[in-house]
Amino acid sequence: MLELVPDIKQAALTHYHTPKTGFVIMPPIASYEDIELKLQRCPEHLRDRISDDKWQELLVTWIATREKAKRGISIDKPMKVRFNWLSVEKDGVIIDCLPEIVDDTVKDDQHVLLYDSESGHDEIAIICDGVDFRMTMFSLLGFPIKV
């Protein structure tokens, strides 16, 4: 497994620079929380050795462990890592996303916050303009948002 570290690190660090993600939408959908966030797919050269599900687990673990370590939180405590982004518009079209600085007590990656995990395991959330991006996807699919 140690031979995977450079690939995991490179893939995980991508998410600190761009809100690039994928989503899995499996019917029936009752709420935006039913939309599963996916990080980068497993690199082509590793696909015969590791499944996409295991790769997702490794990326989430790497990111969560990194953030917990920076804050002195036990790696055994399940946490939700929130990446906060602000959209940049030009002529009414979103052309980019920039990190939203929300925690100036952290030396770097100030757009990343940690919260207790409600699910009991480490998880990742992408927040754009203050809204969970899964909620935006849910709305784009034509579902009403219940607040």
**Pairing assessment for the beta strands 79-90 and 123-128 based on DSSP bridges:** parallel
Number of domains in the chain: 1
Its pTM stands at: 0.82
The answer to whether position 146 is within a domain reads no
> Do the beta carbons of residue 79 and residue 109 sit within 8 Å?
no
**Pairing assessment for the beta strands 22-24 and 79-90 based on DSSP bridges:** unpaired
The answer to whether position 147 is within a domain reads no
For residue 146, what are its two tokens? 């219940």
pLDDT in tens, 13-42: 888 887 777 788 888 888 888 888 888 888
The answer to whether position 22 is within a domain reads yes
Range of the domain at 133: 2-140
